[in-house]
Structure 1
Amino acid sequence: MFIGAIADDLTGATDLCLMLARGGMRVVQVIGVPDAAFDFAAADALVVALKSRTIPRAEAVDLSLAAARRLIDAGARQLFFKYCSTFDSTDDGNIGPVAEALLGLAGAALTIACPAFPANGRTVYRGHLFVGDQLLSDSSMKDHPLTPMRDANLVRVLQKQTALPVGLVGYGTVEKGAEAIRAAFDKAAGEGLRMLVVDAVTDDQLRTIGKAAAGLKLVTGGSGVAIGLPANFGFEEGKANALPFPAPAGRAAIIAGSCSAATRRQIAAARGAGVPALKIDPQDIADGRMTAEAAARWAVESGHATPLVYSSNDPAEVARAQSALGRKRAGELVEHLLAGVAVRLRAAGFRRFVVAGGETSGAVVNALGPAALAIGPEIDPGVPWTVSLGSEPPLALALKSGNFGTDDFFLKAWELLQ
Structure 2
Amino acid sequence: MQVALFTILSSLTGGHVRILETAYRYPRRPTFLIPRNYYVKLLNMLDTYYEGRFRDFIENNTVELPPMEITHFYAYPKYIYDAMNRIKGDLSYFDLFYVPHEHIGMMMLLKGVGVKWTALLQLTPVIGALDVDLPMNPIRLMSLNLRLNGMGYIGDKLFEYLIAKAVLSGETVLSVSKSIPYEMRLMGLRARVKVLDPGIGIDEACFSCGDKDIDLVFFGRLRREKGVFDFIRVLNVLRRRMRMRPRALIMGASDDETPRLVKARLRELGLSGLVDVKVNLTRRELLSNLARARVFVYPTRLDSIGLVVIEALAHGIPVITYDIPAMRLNYRTRAVLRVPFRDINSMALVTAKLLSDEEYREGLANEGLRFVRRFDWVNVALREWEELGKIASEESKAPETKVANVIKAISIA
TM-score by length of 2: 0.36
Q: Which has the higher strand share?
A: 1
Flag the structure with larger Rg: 2
Q: Which has the higher helix share?
A: 2
TM-score by length of 1: 0.36
